[in-house]
Amino acid sequence: MPYLCYGRAYSFLGQIMEAWKQLELTRKANVSQAMKDMLNAVNGLDKEVVAEIMFEVLQGEHRTLQQSWMSALQKMLDRYGKMEYGDLRNEASREWAKAVSELTEKHYLPLI
């Protein structure tokens, strides 16, 4: 009879793990869509205006969220700078990302 109890516990844990996986998939999809939306929204806007909006939003968020965003941005710039494909339309930004990544590679941004 005790095995039934363990079986129920394992079943319940399995359900929790599956729900967690689904939540992570949803969060990843949300981040992906938010990034696409942001890229499309800033197209054609004055870059100073975009920078000001981004700064105002970022500085108003919780400090831990600020650190998490900057850490993700650092990792994204590293990947973007190492991107092998591109053309003249993004060559300068890839080179810039590579230079920034090289400057920041020794700076770890911990999650506190």
Same domain assignment for residues 75 and 103: yes
- List the one residue out of 69, 68, 67, 96 whose CA is nearest residue 81: 96
Same domain assignment for residues 98 and 52: yes
Same domain assignment for residues 99 and 112: yes
6 in Cβ contact with 14 (< 8 Å): no
Question: What are the tens digits of pLDDT across the range 15-60?
Answer: 889 999 999 999 999 999 999 999 999 999 999 999 999 999 999 9
Same domain assignment for residues 101 and 55: yes
CA 94-76-33 angle, to 5 degrees, is 110
pLDDT band at 83 (very low <50, low <70, confident <90, very high): very high
pLDDT band at 6 (very low <50, low <70, confident <90, very high): low
Q: How far apart are CA 65 and CA 111, in angstroms?
A: 9
| Count of domains for the chain | 2
Same domain assignment for residues 29 and 52: no
The pair of structure tokens assigned to 57 is 């939003």
pLDDT band at 11 (very low <50, low <70, confident <90, very high): confident
pLDDT band at 95 (very low <50, low <70, confident <90, very high): very high
pLDDT at position 1: 45
Residue 111 above 50 pLDDT? yes
Burial code (b: 16+ CB inside 10 Å, e: under 16) for 56-87 equals eeeeeeeeeeeeeeeeeebeebbebbeeeeee
Question: Which domain, by its residues, includes 88?
Answer: 46-112
pLDDT at position 79: 96
Query: What percentage of residues in the chain have a pLDDT greater than 70?
Result: 91
Same domain assignment for residues 59 and 20: no
